[in-house]
Amino acid sequence: MTQTANVYQKPLPAMGGLTGEFYGWCKRRELRFQRCTGCGSWRHVPREQCAACGSPSWEWARSSGRGSVFTWTVVARAMHPSFQDDVPYAAVVIELEEGVRLVSEVVHCPPEALDIGMPVEVVFEDVTPEVTLPKFRRVQT
C-alpha cells in the first residue's frame, strides 16, 4: 500500500505575499483578515490599500470565525480532474461576522442542506504539510 492515494491533488493557493500571510495564520488555526488601521474596515482578499479610505496602513485582525452562508453555487461538472469524485458539490460564499466574505466549503453538508443565512463557524483542514485551508461547519442553533 502506497500513500499516493492520500496525496492532496487539488490546486493549492499561491503562498507568496499577502496571500501567503493569510494562509500562514490559517496554519496557526487563526482566521485573520486585513483591517484598516485608518478607518477600521475589514477586507478580503488581501490587498495593499483600503478601498474605503485609501489608507495603506492595516493589521492582521483576528476574526471570530463565525459567520453565515451568503450564497453558493453547485458545481455539477468538475472543472479540474481532482474534483471528479466530489461533484456535485457547493462552492459557498461565507460572510463572516466582521463583514468580509470568502469562498469556501461547508463540510459534511450536501448542497441540498444549505440555506441562506445558515450559521457556520470556521474549521481548519491541513491539506498538505504546508497548506491549511479554512473551511466551515454548520452551527446548531
Taking CB under 5 A as the rule, does residue 49 contact Zn ion?
Answer: no
Smallest distance from Zn ion to CB 60, Å? 15
Give SS3 for 6. helix
Taking CB under 5 A as the rule, does residue 38 contact Zn ion?
Answer: yes
Residue 17 is which amino acid?
G
Taking CB under 5 A as the rule, does residue 57 contact Zn ion?
Answer: no
d(CA 126, CA 12): 12
- Torsion sign, CA atoms 96, 31, 45, 43: positive
Give SS3 for 26. helix
Beta bridge partners of 123: 135
The residue within the footprint of Zn ion, chosen from 26, 31, 42, 50 (CB under 5 A), is: 50
CB of 55 or CB of 128, closer to Zn ion:
55
Taking CB under 5 A as the rule, does residue 34 contact Zn ion?
Answer: no
Taking CB under 5 A as the rule, does residue 61 contact Zn ion?
Answer: no
Taking CB under 5 A as the rule, does residue 53 contact Zn ion?
Answer: yes
Rounded to the nearest 5°, which phi and psi values hold at 98?
Answer: -75, -10
The residue within the footprint of Zn ion, chosen from 45, 52, 91, 113 (CB under 5 A), is: 52
| Residues near Zn ion (CB under 5 A) | 36, 38-39, 41, 50, 52-53, 55
